[in-house]
């Protein structure tokens, strides 16, 4: 089964945006819950998924294929959670941070994502958490940059790439952890 899923993932990662928007929703149910096995079979899976996201027109993707975008987002988060569990450095930083829930909302597309850090673990998914300690909003490009690490959280805030609601001191504590998570997810 893992070999079959691996072949599906390999094909999905090289599809055009149009093909991916059409094909991905069919495969999400069989892929969810199997990311760990896929990561064993494809060791650089999460960095490749991140790279694929960066190459996509995310704004168009979330507008035209919300189910595909939701599924892809949830698969990436499942992988990031697994990577974070395996990284003693990242896990330690998350434990020190404590518990924090964040929402990320694009102002120019339906992109809405949440991230929760608690007990040294990170989870995330499509959609907004009911109650968030920090809320980030900005263009799709800037929110994706913040999540994927191409925009430094502190620098991005100072340059007004996005806005943040919530405690500034909490934002300052979260920023280095977000940067480490993004670097880890990108394979660094």
pLDDT tens digits for 8-27?
Answer: 999 999 999 999 999 999 99
pLDDT tens digits for 112-134?
Answer: 999 999 999 999 999 999 999 99
Tell which of 86, 118, 148 closes a domain.
Answer: 86
- Phi/psi region, residue 56 (left: phi>0; alpha: psi -120 to 50; beta: rest), is beta
Instruction: Give the CA dihedral 38, 43, 49, 55, nearest 10 degrees.
Output: -150
Q: Give the mean pLDDT of 37-44.
A: 94
For residue 157, give the CATH number of its domain.
Answer: 3.30.1050.10
- pLDDT at 188 > cutoff 80: no
Distances (CA, A) of 121 to 77, 80, 85: 12, 10, 7
- pLDDT at 103 > cutoff 90: yes
Tell which of 38, 58, 86 closes a domain.
Answer: 86
- pLDDT for the residue 1: 83
Distance CA 28, CA 158 (A): 37
- pLDDT for the residue 139: 98
Whether residue 130 is found in the same domain as residue 96:
yes
Domain count, the chain: 2
Which pTM was predicted?
Answer: 0.93
Range of the domain at 22: 2-86
Distance CA 157, CA 115 (A): 18
Tell which of 42, 66, 86 closes a domain.
Answer: 86
């Amino acid at each position: 089964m893992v070999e079959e899923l691996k072949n599906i993932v390999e094909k999905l990662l090289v599809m055009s945006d149009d093909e991916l928007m059409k094909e991905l929703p069919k495969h999400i149910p069989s892929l969810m819950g199997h990311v760990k096995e896929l990561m064993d079979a494809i060791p650089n899976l999460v960095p490749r998924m991140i790279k694929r996201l960066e190459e996509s027109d995310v704004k168009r993707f979330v507008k035209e294929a919300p189910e595909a975008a939701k599924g892809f987002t949830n698969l990436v988060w499942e992988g990031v959670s697994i990577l974070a569990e395996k990284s003693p450095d990242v896990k330690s930083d998350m434990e020190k941070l404590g518990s924090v829930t964040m929402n990320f909302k694009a102002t120019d597309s339906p992109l809405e994502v949440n991230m929760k850090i608690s007990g040294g673990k990170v989870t995330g998914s499509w959609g907004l958490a009911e109650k968030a300690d920090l809320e980030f909003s900005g263009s799709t490009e800037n929110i994706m940059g913040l999540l994927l690490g191409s925009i430094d959280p502190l620098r991005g805030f100072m340059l007004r790439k996005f806005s943040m609601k919530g405690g500034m001191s909490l934002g300052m504590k979260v920023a280095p952890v977000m940067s480490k998570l993004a670097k880890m997810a990108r394979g660094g």
